[in-house]
Amino acid sequence: MADEIGTRTAAVAAAIRDRLATRALAPGEKLPSIRRFAATMGVSPSTVVEAYDRLAAEGLIRARPGSGFFVSGAVSPLALTEAEPRRDRAIDPLWVSRQSLDAGPDMLKPGCGWLPAEWMPNAAIRRAVRGLAQQAGEAVLTDYGAARGALTLRRHLVRRLAGEGIDLGADQVLLTASGMQAIDLIGRFLLRPGDTVIVDDPCYFNFQALLRVHAVRPVGVPYTPTGPDLTAFAAALAEHRPRLYVTNSALHNPTGATLTPQTAHRLLTLAAAHDLTIVEDDIFADLEPEPSPRLAALDGLARVIRVSSFSKTLSASIRCGYVAARADWIEALVDLQVATGFGGPSPVAAELIAATLTDGSYRKHLEALRRRLSRARREAAARLEPLGIAPWIVPRGGFTLWCRLPERQDAGALARAGLAEGLVLAPGNVFSVAQTASGFMRFNVAQMTDPRVYEGLARAMAQAQTDSPPTPSP
Amino acid sequence: MADEIGTRTAAVAAAIRDRLATRALAPGEKLPSIRRFAATMGVSPSTVVEAYDRLAAEGLIRARPGSGFFVSGAVSPLALTEAEPRRDRAIDPLWVSRQSLDAGPDMLKPGCGWLPAEWMPNAAIRRAVRGLAQQAGEAVLTDYGAARGALTLRRHLVRRLAGEGIDLGADQVLLTASGMQAIDLIGRFLLRPGDTVIVDDPCYFNFQALLRVHAVRPVGVPYTPTGPDLTAFAAALAEHRPRLYVTNSALHNPTGATLTPQTAHRLLTLAAAHDLTIVEDDIFADLEPEPSPRLAALDGLARVIRVSSFSKTLSASIRCGYVAARADWIEALVDLQVATGFGGPSPVAAELIAATLTDGSYRKHLEALRRRLSRARREAAARLEPLGIAPWIVPRGGFTLWCRLPERQDAGALARAGLAEGLVLAPGNVFSVAQTASGFMRFNVAQMTDPRVYEGLARAMAQAQTDSPPTPSP
């Protein structure tokens, strides 16, 4: 019965659509009255109302209270198409993001910073979404929710952090719209224009993009296979009196390196001596085969602020990040988040994340993911080797492979040539404050199972050498 | 069969929970091996794995690869409780937000800025969520999505804005995490510390909170029942050379007033003469009985930027806002959004919003909502009258009622006394840059159907007069 009504409604809507397409009904014109059109079509008036409502919801027609329905102004089909990313844009810290986010469906993305959709726990997410439809109360579906974000997920994070040895209360966790937004809020809280901030060199390019927005000066400290170079770190502290150090722990982006316990301890000792605050982003933590030292755990959230999100192992569509920090700092961050975004992240998103995390399948998903990445890493390294591209180190986990290009290959020129070959690449210098990584490229092994990646890369390498004069190594 | 397994798993999980509660298993201790515990419980090893996984997902136990499962560190129940809002905090532009967002379930919220959950289109949202579980592709569930946000929703907005007479392309629409975040991005794009920004007096308190974060100076222009006072507006332009004017159109917050066509036209003429950019937030548009003049439509998005969201009529949990503006400005805003939050809002949120908007029922929901609000407005005004509280104007639509308090009542003192009576109120001065609204209170008629609101208000009024000396009217 419901289906039959649906079919009739669809038929009436289709008849109107035809008249709009052929301009039998022109923009601005009044539609037939409901009663008259019902008679014409041999359906009930309520079916016509249903059809008109559907077309109005699509914006094709508009209801004017008291006067009926009218044809909307024409929208050119061009106005409804997606903008392609600009290929000529400068290769800056936003280049990889913009090319990756808006890449057309035919592009391959060995440079992008996330896993393919089919590697994510789709079945568990779908279960969580179904559960939401069935069980969620009205408040969860429509209300703003608590200023710190949904308590369900914050409780889960309190338990999880306790497992790392970090004791904290739910009032010390603030959910945010994303991991980046978490760092942005911290920047707004702690930084003033002109301040200096230490980052790793290389570091995640978006840290640089963010610091630029805050009008602060990034100072890069070389990253070694065991963490930041401590001599350079100490020198930077003495010379620049930085306010903040922003870093990735667990699996460092882009190198995949791991902080050792000694480096972590000495780093915190240096930070204490210079009253430095540290933002530790451990967004890749769930990809580690086993937990590595964490600054927040050693420090107990005294001068370390933990940020993270679920975008790399669960979903980047159901976006949600968090900050764990001193209670008084969180209180200030809540004010900032209300002022700049009103309220926390979507309660619906937080509930879906919590439901997927507490679904018993999440651990198995992670285990399968780690095995799959391990295979993909070996495979990618083996297929890059004949091209003369060699990993700087072989990471313990994760999906990044920070590689040295052959002599005379400039990563920027190669990335440009890659676009023409249908490849989004991540050239070294977008990660380097000092711009000393033109001979490096970050690869995402999970996005490199298609052989066309290597064929395109070979052609792009040949092209890049023709395009640009060889750059001397720094 | 599936149920039977579920029951066995639950029984095993419950047995472990018991041992944890009684400390038969202490923090750090290793759990029985899977094989041994399967024998103890008379179930299959896979059932024990399932149960352990569930407990691990809850954070009660942890898996150590290769060594089995261990009891997690203890988390005190106190660490898992929600923080109450601080009652002693200063009555500043963040006061209403913080008290409303974190109000306990027993508080009544005539001061809050949104509709009760049960007034929202819950059935349509639930249908949209169910549709997502059934039909969404993996990319929608887990990928970052396009930098400007989901094309489905942007197309809908292009059509909707075309209906207002605003011609634009999908590349001129940027989805954001919320309406406030949209304004925040614009501020980051156009404002520098020390700039001056015009706001209405009174205006939505969070505009002031946001401008404070941007370290710019707000200048208030008195709002009249037909829009801003144009003489004062012209004087402010001449004196302060402001960079931006941020305002609510459709139904002005807090007054519920409507811009007239003459005021809108003169305002744009003044803006053009002084090269002023205007942010028009029409978040209450769908609550209007019929459309009022819009600055963006008159101006054609030349110097007006439209921002809005779906939080007031659809869902604030499935958060999503947008900006419509010149294409080159949107391009710059995309960069800022990537740098500070990475990518647009949750694609899942955008898809759910689009599905609910194009569900034929949305127009009927809005019509019912307007009728219900109209009744609630009359009823609230009638019940406030005996308390000596009178509306400044009776708005054409929406849920706000901007009211003058009786002589000698200070809205701030009353708001504090209200908390003790279980009421979150919105005192006038949080809306007033010049702090000239201590004799006003904003009420939300949709949150005032419970008679305890009026009883509490009467008691709080008596208490407030005792607490604080009468304030002379400005």
The per-residue pLDDT string of chain A (474 residues; one tens digit each, 9 = 90 and over) reads 445 667 888 899 999 888 888 888 888 888 998 899 999 899 999 899 888 988 887 778 887 766 788 888 777 778 888 878 888 888 999 999 999 999 988 999 999 999 999 999 999 999 999 999 999 999 999 999 999 999 999 999 999 998 888 999 999 999 999 999 999 999 999 999 999 999 999 999 999 999 999 999 999 999 999 999 999 999 999 999 999 999 999 999 999 999 999 999 999 999 999 999 999 999 999 999 988 999 999 999 999 999 999 999 999 999 999 999 999 999 999 999 999 998 667 899 999 999 999 888 998 999 999 999 999 999 999 999 999 999 999 999 999 999 999 999 999 999 999 999 999 999 999 999 999 999 999 999 999 999 999 999 999 999 998 876 555 544
**SS3 sequence, chain A?**
CHHHHHHHHHHHHHHHHHHHHCCCCCCCCECCCHHHHHHHHCCCHHHHHHHHHHHHHCCCEEEECCCEEEECCCCCHHHHCCCCCCCCCCCCCCHHHHHHHCCCCCCECCCCCCCCHHHCCHHHHHHHHHHHHHHCCHHHHHCCCCCCCCHHHHHHHHHHHHHCCCCCCHHHEEEECCHHHHHHHHHHHHCCCCCEEEEEECCCHHHHHHHHHCCCEEEEEEEECCEECHHHHHHHHHHHCCCEEEEECCCCCCCCCCCCHHHHHHHHHHHHHCCCEEEEECCCHHHCCCCCCCHHHHHCCCCEEEEEECCCCCCCCCCCEEEECCHHHHHHHHHHHHHHHCCCCCHHHHHHHHHHHHCCCHHHHHHHHHHHHHHHHHHHHHHHHHHCCEECCCCCCCCEEEEECCCCCCHHHHHHHHHHCCECCEEHHHHCCCCCCCCEEEEEHHHCCCCHHHHHHHHHHHHHHHHCCCCCCC
Bigger pLDDT: A177 or B6?
A177
Closest chain B C-alpha to A82 CA, distance in angstroms:
7
Q: Which residues pair with A246 in a beta bridge?
A: A199, A279
Report chain A residues whose CB lies below 8 A from the CB of B155. 80
Report chain B residues whose CB lies below 8 A from the CB of A142. 117, 120, 122, 125, 314-318
Write out the two tokens for A460: 């792009």
Closest chain A C-alpha to B104 CA, distance in angstroms:
10
Local structure of residue B367 (DSSP, 8 states): H
Q: pLDDT digits over B231-277, tens only?
A: 999 999 999 999 999 999 999 999 999 999 999 999 999 999 999 99
Q: Over 60: is that where the pLDDT of B375 sits?
A: yes
Binding-face residues of B in 93-122 toward A, CB within 8 A: 93-94, 97-98, 101-102, 114, 117-118, 120, 122
Closest chain A C-alpha to B408 CA, distance in angstroms:
31
For B120, the closest of A50, A136, A138 (CB atoms) is A138
Separation of alpha carbons A440 and A450, rounded Å: 22
Contact between chains at B72 and A168 (C-beta distance less than 8 A): no
Q: Which of A30-44, A430-444, B111-125, B379-393 has the lowest mean pLDDT?
A: A30-44
User: Which of A317, A320, A367 is the best mutation test for B, with the most CBs of B within 10 A?
Assistant: A317
Q: Over 80: is that where the pLDDT of B472 sits?
A: no
Report chain B residues whose CB lies below 8 A from the CB of A315. 141-142, 348
User: Which of B78, B122, B346 is the best mutation test for A, with the most CBs of A within 10 A?
Assistant: B346
Domains annotated for chain B, with CATH where assigned, are 2-77 (1.10.10.10), 95-119+363-467 (3.90.1150.10), 122-358 (3.40.640.10)
Report chain B residues whose CB lies below 8 A from the CB of A130. 130, 133
User: Which of A342, A356, A447 is the best mutation test for B, with the most CBs of B within 10 A?
Assistant: A342
Kindly identify which residue of chain B lies nearest to residue A167, measuring between CA atoms. B75
Closest chain A C-alpha to B179 CA, distance in angstroms:
7
**Residues A159/A163/A168/A174 CA torsion (nearest 10 deg):** -60
State the pLDDT at residue B57: 78
State the pLDDT at residue A5: 64
Closest chain B C-alpha to A470 CA, distance in angstroms:
31
Mean per-residue pLDDT of chain B = 92
For B94, the closest of A73, A179, A335 (CB atoms) is A335
Q: How many CB pairs under 8 A join A and B?
A: 344
State the pLDDT at residue A164: 87
A193 touches B at CB < 8 Å: yes
| ipTM (interface predicted TM) | 0.91
Report chain B residues whose CB lies below 8 A from the CB of A143. 114, 117, 316-317
Contact between chains at A346 and B343 (C-beta distance less than 8 A): no
Closest chain A C-alpha to B420 CA, distance in angstroms:
20
State the pLDDT at residue B5: 64
Local structure of residue B312 (DSSP, 8 states): T
Contact between chains at A363 and B120 (C-beta distance less than 8 A): no
Report chain A residues whose CB lies below 8 A from the CB of B58. 156, 159, 358
Asked if residue B426 lies in contact with residue B91, where contact means CB atoms within 8 angstroms, the answer is no
Report chain A residues whose CB lies below 8 A from the CB of B291. none
A39 touches B at CB < 8 Å: no
Q: Over 60: is that where the pLDDT of B473 sits?
A: no
Local structure of residue B82 (DSSP, 8 states): P
Q: Over 70: is that where the pLDDT of B413 sits?
A: yes
Closest chain A C-alpha to B273 CA, distance in angstroms:
30
For B177, the closest of A82, A177, A335 (CB atoms) is A177
State the pLDDT at residue B27: 80
